[in-house]
Amino acid sequence: MANPGSLRRRLGVTDAVVIGAGSMIGAGVYVAWAPAARAAGDWLLVGLAIAGVVAFCNATSSAQLAAIYPESGGAYVYGRRQLSPFWGYVAGWGFVVGKTASCSAMALTLGAYLWPEQQRLAAALAVMVITGVNIGGLQRTVAVTKVLLAVSLVAIGCVVWVGVTESPPAGVVTTSGPDESVLGAVQAAGFLFFAFAGYARIATLGEEVRDPERTIPRAIPLALLGVLAVYALVGAVAIDFGGVDRLGGSDSPLRDLVGSVDSSLEPLVQLGAGIASLGVLLNLVPAVSRTTLAMARNGEVPAWFAHIDNERSLPLRAELTVAAVVIALVLTIDITSSIAVSGVAVLAYYAVTNAAALTLRRDQQRWPGVVAAVGLLGCVVLAAALPRSALLGGGLVLVTGVAARQVAARRSSNEHT
């Protein structure tokens, strides 16, 4: 039996892998290809490889830290325990900001694919539905995620089938211009990294998996490598079929690929895009609420969020608040702005994760320290390569939150002196 105020350990390796994959499939395949293709040109798959390497380094750091600290909160807990409360707060705030923005992007993507005439309304309704599923408990979330992930993979399979069996329409140029560069590939990696960040959802399950010291280090790499293989296959087929220029010229490149040959599979791909976005959203909202729970336990956000609904074994207040914030975002900002803020914030908290992993004792390390060092450097480089508007927008939100925390801490110190 779980103690009051704690979460129940119910999930095994397979469930954790499904949650991780369900948090990733959708974001990269249906959102990030277009800006990445515009940045990298023919070096698009190089950009994907760079993003995959950085993501793998981050994943190994997350996995070994999660095995040591099997608690809700993920990077927030690691930064706090291994570095300092300040860096823990930076990681936690970065996670909350980044993933809340990601939730907004996924909800708006769903609306764009399934009901483009009423994109924002569809996005808000999707968040409400997902919240209803999640407050039914984590076991229900896992079951629904399995169904959504299966539908998403079927839709991606349709794209691959059309790309392999059909010929491109007449007049399609399948080569790009000569402006590709290493810098473009790195910027593309920054966009595509958005596609991999969902594996952090597994790390936030520290209090809800069985045998976390064994389950989490196995589940994170398995989910990441499986999704990387799917992304590489889809990217290669899309480039071969329509060229990088065509891939970068559309906000719905996979639907357009299938639609360009009048395939009867187009509605299924369109539905699959919406379902994939729904699957990511289903897992991101609980991830943000778990980190908010951890921060509330340490008094860095209002203690009201630390409440656990014992009947459902979840932080109900945090969950409902996150859903309300996401609804407010989808009604006011666009997909591009959501992705921009998310990218900077996500890379910031993974930088803290890698820095925390570098402080582990040798007997605590499951991978060499150089892996975490590469991950830390990669996060800094990818963030710096993102468009200036992304750096300014995401950086401003992060700095504002950290400044507010410092002011509150100073006031609290003054009151006790």
Average of per-residue pLDDT across 62-86: 84
- Domain of residue 89: give its range: 13-406
| Mean pLDDT across the chain | 81
Within a domain: 233 = yes
Q: What is the pLDDT of residue 77?
A: 86
**DSSP symbols for 312-332:** TTB-HHHHHHHHHHHHHHHTT
Model confidence at 207: pLDDT above 80: no
Within a domain: 5 = no
Model confidence at 1: pLDDT above 50: no
CA distances to 26, 91, 127, 150, 356 from 276, in Å: 5, 27, 14, 9, 32
Within a domain: 311 = yes
- Binned at pLDDT 50, 70 and 90, residue 112 comes out as confident
Within a domain: 331 = yes
Q: pLDDT higher for 169 or 100?
A: 100
Within a domain: 380 = yes
* Residue 225 belongs to domain with CATH number: 1.20.1740.10
Into how many domains does the chain fold? 1
Per residue in 269-296, pLDDT (tens digit) is 888 888 878 777 877 788 788 888 888 8
CA distances to 72, 88, 235 from 356, in Å: 17, 9, 33
Within a domain: 415 = no
Torsion angle of C-alpha atoms 294, 296, 297, 300, degrees rounded to 10 = 100
Instruction: Quote the longest CA-to-CA distance of the chain.
Output: 77
Q: What is the pLDDT of residue 359?
A: 95
Q: pLDDT higher for 213 or 374?
A: 374
For residues 94 and 352, is the Cβ–Cβ distance under 8 A? yes
Six-digit token pair at 258? 């299938």
Per residue in 129-150, pLDDT (tens digit) is 888 877 765 555 567 777 777 8
Model confidence at 409: pLDDT above 50: yes
Model confidence at 29: pLDDT above 80: no
Within a domain: 127 = yes
Within a domain: 6 = no
Model confidence at 258: pLDDT above 50: yes
